[in-house]
Amino acid sequence: MELPVVGDGVHLASYRPRVPQSVVSGKATGLNGSGYYQGYGDSSSVASCGSEAVTGYDTVDAPPHYDFYANTEVWGRRRRFRPSLYQLYANPQQDDSRPPMYEETAGEQMGGGDSSEEDEEELKDPPPEPTRFGWVQGVMIRCMLNIWGVILYLRLPWITAQAGIGLTWVIILLSSFITGITGLSTSAIATNGKVKGGGTYFLISRSLGPELGGSIGLIFAFANAVAVAMHTVGFAETVTDLMRENGAVMVDRINDIRIIGIITVTCLLGISMAGMSWESKAQVLFFFVIMVSFVNYIVGTIIPASAQKQAKGFFSYKADIFATNFVPDWRGPEGSFFGMFSIFFPSATGILAGANISGDLRNPTVAIPRGTLMAIFWTTISYLIIAATIGACVVRDASGVLNDTISSSSSSEDCVGLACRYGWDFSECTKNGTCTQGIMNYYQSMSMVSAFAPLISAGIFGATLSSALACLVSAPKVFQCLCKDKLYPLIGFFGKSYGKNDEPLRGYLLTYVIAVCFILIAELNTIAPIISNFFLCSYSLINFSCFHASVTNSPGWRPSFRFYSKWLSLLGAVCCVVIMFLLTWWAALIAFGVVFILLGYTLYKKPAVNWGSSVQASSYSIALSQCVGLNHVEDHVKNYRPQCLVLTGPPCCRPALVDLVSCFTKRLSLMMCGNVVAAGPSPTALQEAVSERHVAWLNQRKVKSFYRGVVAAELRSGVNALLQGAGLGRIKPNVLLMGFKKDWRCVSPQAAHNYIGILHDAFDLHYGVCVLRVKEGLDASRPFQSHVNPGFDGGPESINTPASIQTSVSSSVSVDPDPQPSSVFQEKQGKKTIDIYWLSDDGGLTLLLPYLLTRRKRWAGCKVRVFVGGDTDKKEEQKEEVLALIKKFRLGFHDVEVLPDIYQLPQPGNVLQFEDSVNRFRLDTNPKQDSDSGPQRQQEEPWMITEQDLERNKAKSLRQIRLNEVLQDYSREAALIVITMPVGRRGVCPSTLFLAWLDVLSRDLRPPVLLVRGNQENVLTFYCQ
């Protein structure tokens, strides 16, 4: 299909969509011979096909489509690409300029490559579909199994005995409050865009950025690995108790737990490495077993108690037992509210089990909120019911001995305890502390209460093994995503994926090793508090992520889950932090210490990732607010900072200029590198001006600078645009820095005139001006590889030769990164001197810039010498006067020298050399010519110098020649020469004569020379207000 050209006599209505066979078959039809337009031809065909129903016209403008926003392709059809702006407005038949670089990239994606290879790929079988889960099996059941862990069966009755039913409910509800808020925050984050694998780490890192996301990802993966050990130890503890009841002991209780725990976690490792489908099937089986055990327990509480159960403290539902057990009875070193909370809280931490396998969910943005919140609700109800029922049925202390009944012959007056009312006397073991039964002493109380004890054991096995298995799967999945992001060194080895589900087999092995190490502790009450702090830290950051993303008001924060509150998320984050320190303050310090260490490392390394985090959004909001706030602050000389607009062209072309300015602006004031692309408006020129490679070069060189590029017909107009438009509010340049135009005698006089015109424009706009001259030149660009602004330090190009400029611009677009050439200003300057020739008072800028240099390490060893003009007979008096003035400025300059010889006449040879340099621009005033031709020609060519101009400015010319001789005598070995720039009066001093002054003043000097002229307003003060 041919692309219609809109012109005279062309009617769009005459072009109806005609979809060619090549589009149907997936082949591209080119618009011309170039591969670039071939790519666009395919795109236009696809777009036209899609837009028929909407527009009815043959157009490349396409209606909205999913492919335009997706980052991945759908198997079985070619991906569509949105036509670019260049495609829509450019005319390929008339515009022979190359498209911008981003257009070429799009073209390659859209039309590049061999069509035969594409056909072969399309004929291949579709890739195998990995296992995907819905919200019930993938999230709700998984979260419920992870929440219903070892604590439910083995520690909840004991916690009820310690804290009482009332405070146990408080502990459960407080835990659920924290996990509920975290669930709401997780739901909001998970529905703010497409969620991939990585679970909690992915959610936090993509919301808060890699700094906090990376640190919490490591901590959360480690906490899950330790949780594997906790649940496995709970399982091993149950098996060991069953073995001991039947007289089977391998070594002793601790070592039996270790042996059984290691064997168990090894079997779980095999199940998890077999794949997610096997693991999911095992989870469904465990869920069924747990539900049966719950029913068995509830039935057991209703059945009347037998004598054996009564001896162990079970008396079915009794109001007085409920009342007695409703209040706390703290015992032992762990007997406190927060001691019980630290042991119980890990049982509520399974809420992220579904989010941790987000990459294996069919629709994570729906499954995670629905499944997580439903799991929190039902497990909270189950915890409350079990705590109330066990506390209403079983007394705290019992002996378990059938003979401890109150007989008719024995006196009941000596009996102590609630069991006395039901005919049992447990007074002796209660007083001696030797009771082995009751919810205070027997961890297997739920088995004793149930209708059929083996079902409770099966429930314990199901709960502990399912939780251990969920954690064993979660930790490697989170760690794998962290490894793939390459935020930390030495961990990439564990990020390798295997199989269609991208299983992290190496991560499984690492989790296994960590779990085995903690299984060797073999003490459940020791392992549980370790995990609590790590999970609380994770939950705190999840809640803070939601709050931070909401409070920044970023347009990208648009979660489809609406039932959350940023203030509730903040409350949840604060509660988590407070509880961390109330539980175990030293463990909280360790957790935060690890976070801050990892955070500091990430901030230092600055990984090259861009996830659109809320930290980025808040940085923009804070910067914008501060910039607006500066509008209410009046300028004051004490707060003056040299905010520099540096005419570097592409920054890589003039590294010396960049490095020098960076020395006195880094972490202090604004630096902006300006680049004027002197060419007509074209995509190529615009791409050169705004190319990101310039900013990348500055970042690679660690220069704190902005970059601003403009396209203009000529250099002077472009610089004028920068002078007037650069900056934001009060953060805008006030000093212009540029390189010296050393080739001013070779190029066209118009170029030299425009160069001086830039200085005058800067003065008109109240800028200070600095010109840097380096003996070896500033331009470090290689021929035909970088754009060179021809207005300064540029070689033989002329400003009015767009063809050569266009060539240099086009050739500057390179895939390879720009080189990093060294400059003299990167070296340590040692014990050299910085010589300041403060010959005219410009407000103090000539003194301020060298002072800022001496604050840098590489310049700190330099001695600053200040030279001023004076009379021979008043030399000492003038020296003391200047020294006293500088002392009031508190600059730390103590070496002042008065130079009376600057007023002497220069050497005749140097005067002759100066005259030779301006001869080319002198206007011939032959009396035989028309007397009116001279002024007319000077008006047409304002750079021409007349005899009157030379005579009028003779004193200044001789002064500049003499100053160069003085510089040769006094500053031959200096590290830098800073000298007040002379000013040529507009209309009195021709531009070429002014340029000759700057040339003769700074020529033939080994040290770099910085010519400085402030805007004649104070930048230094010796007042305190």
Q: Tell me the pLDDT tens digit for each residue of 778-800.
A: 877 644 333 445 445 544 333 33
Q: Which of 584, 144, 573, 572 is nearest to 348 (CA)?
A: 144
Please tell me whether residue 778 adopts helix, strand or coil conformation: coil
The whole-number pLDDT of residue 705 equals 92
The region of weakest confidence among 169-178, 197-206, 548-557 is 197-206
Which two structure tokens, joined as six digits, stand for 885?
């003035």
Picking from 19, 17, 369, 26, the residue whose alpha carbon sits closest to that of residue 192 is 369
- Taking phi first (over 0 means left), then psi (-120 to 50 degrees means alpha), and beta for anything else, what does residue 994 get? alpha
Between these two residues, 149 and 494, which has the higher pLDDT value?
494
Strongest mean pLDDT among 72-86, 339-353, 521-535, 658-672: 658-672
Least confident stretch, 367-371, 378-382, 607-611: 607-611
C-alpha 1001/C-alpha 1011 separation (Å) is 9
Strand partners for 934: none
Return mean pLDDT, the chain.
78
Q: Does position 57 have pLDDT exceeding 60, yes or no? A: no
> Which residue do the tokens 């066979």 mark?
21
Query: Among all chains, which residue has been given the structure tokens 């989870």?
Result: 283
Taking alpha carbons only, the member of 350, 374, 317 closest to residue 165 is 317
pLDDT category, 968, cuts 50, 70, 90? very high
pLDDT at position 791, please? 47
CA distance 886 to 889: 5
Report pLDDT for 209.
Answer: 76
Report yes or no: 357 and 276 within 8 Å, Cβ to Cβ. yes
Burial of residue 912 (CB within 10 Å: 0-12, 13-18, 19+) is exposed
Give the model's pLDDT for residue 409: 43
Token readout for 645 is 């607009």
pLDDT range class, residue 818, cuts 50, 70, 90: confident
Residues 189-213 have a mean pLDDT of 74
pLDDT band for position 234 (cuts 50, 70, 90)? confident
Q: What is the pLDDT averaged over residues 798-818?
A: 38
The b-or-e profile of 245-284 (16+ CB within 10 A means b, else e) is eeeeeeeeeeebbbbbbbebbeebbebbbebbeebbebbe
Model confidence at 18, pLDDT cuts 50, 70, 90, reads very low
Residue type, 849: L
CA 231: distance to chain centroid? 36
Residue 966 pLDDT greater than 80, yes or no? yes
Distance CA 276, CA 282 (A): 10
d(CA 835, CA 976): 6
Q: What is the DSSP letter of 945?
A: B
The one-character DSSP state at 823 is -
Tens-place pLDDT, residues 459-491: 888 888 887 887 888 788 888 888 888 788 877
Q: Are 654 and 778 in contact (CB under 8 A)?
A: yes
Which segment of 349-363, 692-706, 707-721, 940-954 scores lowest on mean pLDDT?
349-363
Residue type, 983: V
d(CA 46, CA 561): 35
pLDDT at 50 (0 to 100): 39
Tell me: the pLDDT tens digits for 873-930?
A: 888 898 998 998 988 888 889 999 998 888 888 999 999 999 888 888 888 755 444 4
Lowest mean pLDDT among 55-69, 412-426, 603-617: 55-69
> Which residues lie closer than 8 Å to 753 by C-beta, 6 or more apart?
942, 943, 991, 992
**CB within 8 A of 595, min separation 6: which ones?**
212, 215, 216, 219, 537
Tell me the C-alpha distance between 241 and 247, whole Å: 10
Please report the pLDDT score of residue 282 as a whole number: 77
pLDDT at 974: 93
Return the structure tokens found at 811: 């050739």
**What average pLDDT does range 972-983 have in this prediction?**
92
Q: Which of 203-207, 258-262, 515-519, 524-528 has the lowest mean pLDDT?
A: 203-207
Question: In terms of pLDDT, which residue wins out, 621 or 668?
Answer: 668
**Cα–Cα distance, 578 to 605 (Å, whole number):** 31
CA 716/CA 754 separation, integer angstroms = 6
353: Cβ–Cβ under 8 A, 6 or more apart, which residues?
139, 142, 143, 145, 146, 470, 471, 474
Contact 651, 700 (CB under 8 A): no
Q: CA–CA separation, 477 vs 469, rounded Å?
A: 13
d(Cα 496, Cα 499) in Å, to the nearest integer?
A: 10
Q: Find out whether 343 and 528 touch, Cβ atoms under 8 Å.
A: yes
Calpha distance 726→256 (Å, rounded): 74
CB atoms within 10 A of CB 908: 8
pLDDT of the residue at 198: 67
pLDDT band at 135 (very low <50, low <70, confident <90, very high): confident
User: pLDDT value at position 235?
Assistant: 86
Q: Is the pLDDT at 343 greater than 90, yes or no?
A: no
* Contact criterion met (CB below 8 Å) for 230 and 528: yes
Residue 747 carries which DSSP code? S
Q: 119 falls in which pLDDT band (50, 70, 90)?
A: very low
Cα–Cα distances (Å) from 748 to 634, 744, 787, 807, in that order, read 45, 8, 19, 20
Candidates 465, 203, 512; CA nearest to 354 is 203
- Read off the pLDDT of residues 238-261 as tens digits, 9 standing for 90 and up: 888 888 878 888 888 889 999 999
Of all residues in the chain, the percent with pLDDT exceeding 70 is 79
Q: What letter would DSSP give residue 31?
A: S
Question: Which pLDDT score, from 0 to 100, does residue 71 have?
Answer: 58
**424-428, 606-610, 776-780, 797-801: lowest mean pLDDT where?**
797-801
Surface-to-core class of residue 199, CB atoms within 10 Å of its CB (0-12 exposed, 13-18 middle, 19+ buried): buried
In 3-state terms, what secondary structure has residue 769?
A: strand
pLDDT band at 4 (very low <50, low <70, confident <90, very high): very low
Name which residue leads in pLDDT, 587 or 322: 322
pLDDT category at 939 given cuts 50, 70, 90 is low
How big is the CA angle at 384 (ends 381 and 386), to the nearest 5 degrees? 105
- Kindly list the distances between the CA atom of residue 332 and the CA atoms of 441, 526, 747, 974, in Å, as whole numbers in the listed order: 12, 14, 93, 78
Q: What whole-number distance in Å separates Cα of residue 860 and Cα of residue 856?
A: 6
Residue 720 has pLDDT above 90, yes or no: yes
Rounded Cα distance between 200 and 477, Å, is 10
In the DSSP assignment, the letter for residue 435 is -
Q: How many residues does the chain have?
A: 1025
Q: Which residue has the higher pLDDT, 92 or 766?
A: 766
Q: Is the pLDDT of residue 383 over 80?
A: yes
- In the numeric block, the tokens 């007074």 are attached to 427
Q: What single-letter DSSP state applies at residue 688?
A: H
